[in-house]
Amino acid sequence: MKCTLFQKQVAYWLLGITAMEFLSRVVVFHPLWNSVVAILFALIVAYLMWVRPTAAMGIISVEYLIGSKGALFHVGSDPLNHGGVSVRILFFVACLLVWFVRSMGKTRQVMAKEGTHWWIQDLPVVYLALAALWLLAVARGAWFHQPFLSTDAQPWLAWLLLLPMLDVAMTSPIDQIKQDWWPAIAAGLIWLPLETLGLFYLFSHQVSVYLIQGTYLWVRHTGVAEITHASAGLWRIFLQSQVYALALIAGVWAWWLTGHRLERWTWLLGTLSVIELILSLSRSFWIGVVVGCVVMVVVARKMITRTSLMTTTKNSLIILVSAFALILATLWFPFPRSGGGDLTGLISSRVDTEDQAATSRWSLLPAMLKVIERHPIWGSGFGATVSYQSYDPRAVQQTISGSYTTHAFEWGWLTFWLQFGLFGPMIVAWLLIDITTRVWGSKLSPWIRVAIIGSLIGLAVLHVLTPYLNHPLGIFLMMMVEVSLVFAQRDSGELLSV
């Protein structure tokens, strides 16, 4: 079978991702080489941002998709990859600086011709409100001398990448976008379930003590994944980046709901996404997917026929069975000998762990509400902390009594109220409503519009229990939605075809 140019580009990006993670594994515990490689990657991004911005955007997108916490490499870290400046921040600075310098010449030309730069002219008002909200939280965090001000404020700066992303989407040749940016995103989305399944195989089969210990230390200290023992011979493989499986499942479901048939790519992406969600053992992810799918049915009700609904149900069962079959095939693969176990034990063990986490989450709730009561209108600012009685084994290990103080809260929407005050949840909800409204009224294909809306609603629901709307990964997803709206304005669909 002859491969298309797009498929070849995806394969090249997958090879690049493999090399990037292998290099991270080699140098991450050697501070000097870790710094050298991180700086080298940043210089590559800066150079590409000058000569071929779409390729630079491809690298930045891949890092968001596979990097989870953005710490594959560090400059100035210790031997455990702690401290210093992460490669994600280096990419951020390199991209913004080069884009700003490049745009200066274009800005004069555009201002002379149109009176203003296009992205300033078209920037929705809600983003100005979001910027004001951020400044308010910084000011109040500084006023109250909150200890984790910079830690909480920094992730929101990821929104600044929206400016060069929109500029590249608007001004770059269509061929370059299709050759560089789209294949990079596709490769990153394919890599996540492959890595999830690979880690599950490695730990369930106990391939090599040296290999397992090295891999565990690497994923732990780079933040790529969290690997925890679930039951006899079985392990939970959780990656923060698995949140993008929600968008993939939404896309596949929207494709079927709007009357399209089961194709190889929908079967592949759907199966891989379900594998991610099963092995993540994250009930928050599961709830987000279910709510997102229900919303898509409601949104697309006028497009849905009885046949398409039956097809969607049948295809969903096919990918669910395929996902379980591939997980079992991985678990029972005869070489080397598996540690045994079954998926029922895997899921039931996770329920027990989740019960402990849920107890801690409910214990956190009244403590958060007490802190909110202190400054309900204007908030406590970035870096505010809450002390509560935790039953999470990880927190109990760090304290004698289980009393735990943290600035990272699992109640996402309440976090907005605590940090920003009453207007926080309102402005973020306004942002989501604004984006979904513009998506629904755009020229995007109907199935893409339905998929995006389902993804955003799923993300909003997920944020109730697992914060992502204030996390770079969730912010990146919303920024890519804005990029897709630029493409919808730019042409009649050529950019969204491969």
Read out DSSP for 59-125? HHHHHHHHHTTT-SSEES--TTS-SSEEHHHHHHHHHHHHHHHHHHHHHHHHHHHHSS-HHHHH--H
pLDDT at 491 over 90: no
**Domain residue ranges of the chain, discontinuous segments joined by +:** 123-171+225-491
405 or 139: which carries more pLDDT confidence? Answer: 139
pLDDT at 358: 67
Residue type, 365: L
pLDDT at 495: 54
pLDDT at 114: 43
Q: Which helix (H) or strand (E) holds 237?
A: strand 234-238
pLDDT at 343 over 80: no
Q: How much is the average pLDDT of 368-395? A: 86
Judged on CB neighbours under 10 Å (0-12, 13-18, 19+), 294 is middle
pLDDT at 137: 96
Q: How much is the average pLDDT of 333-342? A: 65
- Using CA atoms, how far residue 79 sits from 29, 31, 88, in Å, is 5, 6, 19
Contact 419/376 with Cβ under 8 angstroms? no
- Using CA atoms, how far residue 442 sits from 167, 446, 448, 490, in Å, is 19, 9, 10, 11
CA distance 148 to 383: 4
CA distance 159 to 46: 19
Task: Check residue 261 and report its DSSP letter.
Answer: P
Contact 64/133 with Cβ under 8 angstroms? no
> For 70, left (φ over 0), alpha (ψ -120 to 50), or beta?
left
pLDDT at 51: 95
Q: What is the pLDDT of residues 261-303, one digit of tens each?
A: 888 888 999 999 999 999 998 889 999 999 999 999 999 988 8
Q: What is the pLDDT of residues 424-462, one digit of tens each?
A: 999 999 999 999 999 999 889 999 999 999 999 999 999
pLDDT at 237 over 90: yes
Q: How much is the average pLDDT of 197-216? A: 87
pLDDT at 116 over 50: no
Structure-token pair, residue 32? 């000097």
